[in-house]
Amino acid sequence: MELRHKHIRKISSAQEILGAPSTYMVAYTTEKFKADNPKTYKAFVAALQEAQELTKKEPTEIAKIYLDHSKDKLTVEETVDLIKIQSRPSY
For 2-47, what is each residue's pLDDT tens digit?
778 889 988 888 778 888 776 667 789 999 999 999 999 999 999 9
Torsion of CA 89, 39, 69, 87, to 10 degrees: 10
Instruction: Indicate whether 51 pLDDT > 80.
Output: yes
CA gap 17, 86 in Å, rounded: 15
Residue 73 has pLDDT above 80, yes or no: yes
Say how many CA atoms lie within 13 Å of 27 toward its Cβ: 10
**Is the whole-model pTM more than 0.75?**
no
- Which residues, 6 or more positions from 33, have their beta carbon under 8 angstroms from its beta carbon? 41
